[in-house]
Every structure is written in C-alpha cells, then in structure tokens.
C-alpha cells in the first residue's frame, strides 16, 4: 500500500493546515514549510517553491530520516535539514511548522530578544511557553539547523532571528497550527501593549499557580521530557 493511501486522513489534514496557513497570511509566496513525523522513519513534508495554498495530494512528499524521498514526485522543502535535526534531537516531537506570521516576524527583527521570554497570558503560558530567539543562520543551510541545538531541549516555539517562527508539538499537525495561532494572537497583544504603556507580566507566584492549571488539564511542560522541572524554571532559563 502506498503511504498516501495508508495515511490518507493525515495527508488531508496536512493539506488543510497548509491552506489555513495561506488563508491566515502566515505564509506568503513560497515561504514557510511543515513536516509531520508519521512513523519512526516516515516524515510527511511540504514541497519546495510552492505557495501553501497550492499544496495538494499530488505534490506532498514522504521522506525518511536520512532525507531521502520514499514517495512523491515533487522536491521537498529546502529546509529539510532543519526538520531532520528537529526530529532527531527531539524524538518526542511529531509535527513542526515554520511560518511568517506578521507579529512574530516583527519580533524577529527587533533587538529586544527577551520580550517573548516573559509570561503574559495564562493560556500562552500553559500552551505555548517562552519563545527564545535563535541566532540568524542562512536559510536552507546546516548552520541554520545547528543554531537551534542549544534551545531544542527546553522549548517548543522559537523566533528565528530576521526570519520567522518555528513551532513544534507532540501532537498532530493541526495541534501545532493551533499553537501558532495562539502564539501569534498573544504576540500581537504584547506588541500593542508595549506601544501603549508599561508591560505587566505574570509574576513568579502567579506562574507557580499556573502549574495547577497544567496539572488539571494534564498539559506537559515544554521541551524534551524531563528537561524542565517547573514553569518558573522554564521562564527563568536563559541560553
């Protein structure tokens, strides 16, 4: 059986998410890409040089963890090395999206790198977590993938300096898309608040209390299993 038949429902959901990225203007032109690890050695990935609104069953690709195409006729995204690094270093992660939401991209070009490392909203704290800025690396290169290495064990979302946003999750590709939407909405509000006055982040005591919410909802801490012990530790760590 072909992989696209075996994973027909997953392929349709993957395409739906690509189209949603395009509809929300989280990607433009051929920018952005996505990958979903369906088996230990099977990754569904977007095609290169393709607007995400045009992703369809005819141009999605299945690759293995060496980066070789196992099914599909299109060429996979040039950011393939970055995704392979993610899945190799974080075996708990199932899906990853790289995109260019306007507010996240604004944070990619400001010098205030710590802004998104602060906790502001309960939902963002419990579902997205702190978002560090990964130093700039030339797109489509191993250097870009390597720049993530110190950050990958501890976080699930990242601002790529002068580039965009990467978010990963232990859930399916739709779960990762929902996390991106929450992150972008929160960043939008933070930037507007910063322009209007003095920011008022959640304090350490309030942050500790939010651990109760995570326990009630059975939400895992971000990062690799065991890498972070508490919410406060997540937000206090600097790399």
Alpha-carbon gap, residue 31 to 164, rounded angstroms: 10
Are 183 and 110 within 8 A, CB to CB?
Answer: no
Q: How far is CA 162 from CA 30, 54, 111, 144, 189, in A?
A: 17, 26, 10, 12, 21
Query: Does residue 141 have a pLDDT over 80?
Result: no
* Mean pLDDT calculated for residue range 209-224: 94
Q: Is 1 exposed, middle or buried (0-12, 13-18, 19+ CB in 10 A)?
A: exposed
Q: What is the pLDDT of residue 138?
A: 87
Confidence label for 212 from pLDDT (cuts 50, 70 and 90): very high
Are 76 and 68 within 8 A, CB to CB?
Answer: no
* Mean pLDDT calculated for residue range 232-237: 94
CATH of the domain at 96: 3.40.225.10
* Mean pLDDT calculated for residue range 52-81: 97
pLDDT in tens, 90-135: 999 999 999 999 999 999 999 988 999 999 999 999 999 999 999 9
Query: Domains in the chain: how many in total?
Result: 1
Parent domain of 114? 3-236
Total-model pTM:
0.96
| Residue carrying structure tokens 């012990």 | 229
pLDDT in tens, 27-37: 999 999 999 99
Alpha-carbon gap, residue 127 to 182, rounded angstroms: 8
- Round the average pLDDT of the chain to a whole number and report it: 96
């Amino acid at each position: 059986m072909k992989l696209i038949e075996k994973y027909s429902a997953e392929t349709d959901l993957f395409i739906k998410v690509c189209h949603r990225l395009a509809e929300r203007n989280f990607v433009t032109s051929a920018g952005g890409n996505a990958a979903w690890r369906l088996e230990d050695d099977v990754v569904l990935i977007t095609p290169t040089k393709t607007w995400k609104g045009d992703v369809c069953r005819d141009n999605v690709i299945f690759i293995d963890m060496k980066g070789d195409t196992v099914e599909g006729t299109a060429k996979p995204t040039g950011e393939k090395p970055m995704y392979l690094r993610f899945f190799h270093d974080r075996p708990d992660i199932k899906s990853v999206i790289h995109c260019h939401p306007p507010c996240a991209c604004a944070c990619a070009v400001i010098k205030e790198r710590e802004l998104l490392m602060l906790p502001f909203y309960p939902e963002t704290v419990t579902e997205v977590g702190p978002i560090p800025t990964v130093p700039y690396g030339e797109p489509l290169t191993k250097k870009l993938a390597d720049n993530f290495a110190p950050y990958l064990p501890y976080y699930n979302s990242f601002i790529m300096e002068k580039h965009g946003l990467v978010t990963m999750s232990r859930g399916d590709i739709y779960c990762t898309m929902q996390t991106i939407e929450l992150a972008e909405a929160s960043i939008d509000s933070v930037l507007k608040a910063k322009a209007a006055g003095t920011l008022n982040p959640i304090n350490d005591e309030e942050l500790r209390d939010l651990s109760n919410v995570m326990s009630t909802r059975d939400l895992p801490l971000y990062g690799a299993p065991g890498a972070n012990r508490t919410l406060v530790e997540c937000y206090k760590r600097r790399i």
